[in-house]
Chains A and B, each alone.
Chain A
Amino acid sequence: MLDRTDISSSPRRRLWMRVILAGPVAILVALTLLAGMPLWLPGGAAGIDNLAIPLILAPLIWAGLFFHACLDRNLTRVALIAAGLFLVHGGLVASRLLAPAPVVEKAQ
């Protein structure tokens, strides 16, 4: 389904937007998720799941963002999802870094 933005854009411009969303934007959002996920994922039985799982999933997160940017016909939706993920996780990281006393989740 195409939205107005997509219809009004020229094919070349749409291609470049897609390339930017699948390339630098996907990398930036994946890195932000990598930093932000340890702050909300549960630690699990050993208290390390929140640290290990983002590290393991990082290549797949990037691949998911990359293929979403390549295949979704609605570029606005791609941009909104990427922006949402970036803002939520970036905000979590910023609030942690700006917090007065770091609260480190230790292994049990």
Chain B
Amino acid sequence: MIHLKKDETKTMVAVHGWSGILLGLLLYAVVLTGTAAVFAHEIGAWSAGHVTTQSAFEKPIDATVRRLAALTPAKYQDDVNVFEIGDHGLGVFFHRHDVDAKGKPAERGIYYQLDNQGRILRSVEGLDEDVFGPRNDDALSSFLVDTHVRLHLPNPWGLLLTGILGLAMLVAAISGLLIHRHLFKDIFTLRTRANPVLANRDKHSVAGTWSLPFAFILAFTGSFFSFFGTIGVPVVAMAAFSGDIEALSEAVFGNPGTVDARPVAIGNLDRVSADAVRRVGEAPTFMAIEHFGRADSKITVFHNPKTSDIEPVVLVYEGASANFIQAKPSVGTRPSVGGTLTGIMGPLHFGNFAGMLSKAIWFALGFAMCYVTFTGMRLWLVRRMDEKGSFAWLERTLTVVGFGLPLALTVSAAAFLITMPLGSSVYWTPAGFLIASALVILLSIVAPSNAMLSWTIRAATGALMLLLPLLRLLAAGGPGWGEAMAVGQPVIVALDIAFLLVGGWLVRECWRERRPTRTPEPTLDRVIEARS
């Protein structure tokens, strides 16, 4: 336990409150979309109706890559990235190192998108930042991830903003720990029969305390990812490599070796992927080929962490012979403190190190963080109820973001399911979100009371969630529950049930409350009445 003096505790309470209230609404948006993005892969499979379960790396890829190489201009054949897309299809990016319009290092080449039968669906030529946009079949999961990572702001501003939000969360988590006078007592104290202010404070305190270590990890790893490329790498490169970012990347991520530019055909990629599956016990997630078609070619194969481990697995092979060279850390050529720490940042942030179990825990704790952020801002408002005239707008804003964001995300999911078969989901998924957001903001202006605004948004969200499984089945032409189970995709059924349960619960709660009176009745007033 940390015991601060009275004035220091007062300072920490102020820091805790202001760090939340200044950036809390944006932080809530980032945490909520991040919570959903924990299941981005599963949401992608659910929304697009994926029925293939065999990894693209467990099927022959060698002939496909050679066929694509024959189609690709030699200028783009320096390096090749191979990875899974869509319903276990293949993405292949032939490229060379280049610079973008601002002179920053980038990769330029041709990105082939293939289905799970090896047919080319689309090919795009350009810089990496341009070719890797959302596709028609993953527009929903891409939208979720992009909202979480950079709030759809252009780089680097979006990443900088989410990085600052991560720091605000770090400050809120640490100051939250410091202001607890009775930490162990507080995590078990729930006075449900106390007045609403005390009961809400207890709920906030219990949820916040239990998720405190998680909040710290998420904030720390999240701000690391946001600042890594935008500030960290340029600053370190400036000091240690005279500003040469390529040299820094080569030192940290590269596979050093003797340069040998003699043309030698690439080894058998099927042999590499089969060997990687045998060594790790599961299919790779990514394959990077350096110096494609040269004698000094190297193939790096990336895997998720093994069961009971938290560090991702990286295997290196000789490109020309396809022979195994070594297992190495994600960063550096041999195990080291820095390499291990960098390697575990991803699994710690994404919660993907122990399959569904870790993802479910990360989702639950992420949801707890949303609750803590939302209730924290409400408590801050209630404490200032004497000044409620000046903060009434903030109460409505809190309702718009707190309940409106889930509604807008549900609308974007519905828009995706309706427009994916038409091939226009890349446009309509974000458009649906924006239209719903605009309608919620408009409603917040015309609604006679905050209670009515909250009720309407929650009822609409519940009703739409109940419709999502039907839209998936009828509009998007997705598989039924029997077919999904038969092909080994229980996640489709699980997400349908989750939407039905949450939607049903929301509608039931709203039905119980009935429609609130049309007379203005700010929630803050109700709290004051309960107190008096």
Contacts and interface: CB of A to CB of B under 8 A. Distances in A.
Interface of A: 31, 34-36, 38-39, 44-56, 58-60, 62-63, 66-67, 70-71, 93, 96-97, 102, 104-108
B338 A102 contact: no
B170 A63 contact: yes
A53 B124 CA distance: 37
16 contacts: A34-B231, A35-B238, A38-B236, A45-B332, A47-B336, A51-B236, A53-B341, A55-B232, A56-B345, A58-B224, A58-B231, A59-B166, A59-B167, A63-B167, A108-B333, A108-B334
B239 A38 contact: yes
Contacts of A104: 240-242, 247
B332 A47 contact: yes
Given A55-B224, A55-B228, A71 B4 contact: yes
Nearest to B328: A46
Given A44-B338, A55-B224, A58-B232, 15 more contacts: A34-B236, A38-B236, A46-B334, A46-B339, A50-B338, A52-B338, A58-B224, A59-B223, A63-B167, A67-B175, A70-B11, A96-B240, A105-B240, A107-B332, A108-B333
Nearest to A18: B11
Contacts of A67: 171, 174-175
B235 interface: yes
B507 interface: no
Contacts of A53: 337-338, 341
B252 interface: yes
Most buried by B among A36, A39, A55, A60: A55
Given A35-B239, A55-B233, A63-B167, A45 B336 contact: yes
B239 A36 contact: yes
B236 A55 contact: yes
Contacts of A38: 236, 239-240
A105 B502 CA distance: 55
B335 A46 contact: yes
Contact of A70 (B15, B233, B333): B15
A96 B235 contact: no
Contacts of B334: 45-46, 108
A100 to B, nearest CB: 12
B404 to A, nearest CB: 30
B68 interface: no
Given A63-B174, A71-B8, A44 B336 contact: yes
B133 to A, nearest CB: 28
B235 A56 contact: no
Contacts of B254: 107
Contacts of B338: 44, 46, 48-53, 56
B99 interface: no
**For the complex of A and B, 7 pairs with smallest distance between CB atoms:** A52-B338, A46-B332, A49-B338, A46-B336, A35-B239, A44-B336, A59-B223
Interface residues of B, number: 47
A37 B507 CA distance: 56
B220 A59 contact: yes
Given A46-B338, A52-B338, A106 B251 contact: yes
Interface in B322-361: 329, 331-339, 341-342, 345
A56 to B, nearest CB: 5
B248 interface: yes
B167 to A, nearest CB: 6
B236 to A, nearest CB: 5
A67 B177 CA distance: 13
A46 B343 CA distance: 14
Nearest to B341: A56
A36 B126 CA distance: 36
Nearest to A34: B235
Contacts of B247: 104
A96 B239 contact: yes
B12 interface: yes
Given A58-B224, A62-B167, A46 B333 contact: yes
Nearest to A33: B235
B332 A52 contact: yes
A48 B332 contact: yes
Interface in B135-187: 166-167, 170-171, 174-175
A2 to B, nearest CB: 12
B239 A39 contact: yes
Contacts of B219: 59
Given A48-B338, A51-B248, A107 B333 contact: yes
Contacts of B220: 59-60
Contact of B236 (A54, A97, A106, A108): A54
Interface string B243-256: 00001101110101
A38 B252 CA distance: 13
A70 B12 contact: yes
A39 B240 contact: yes
Contacts of B8: 71
A49 B228 CA distance: 15
B227 interface: yes
A59 B218 CA distance: 12
A104 to B, nearest CB: 6
B251 A48 contact: yes
Given A55-B233, A56-B341, A59-B220, A71 B252 contact: no
Contacts of A105: 240, 251
Nearest to B232: A55
Nearest to B254: A107
A65 to B, nearest CB: 11
Interface string B461-481: 000000000000000000000
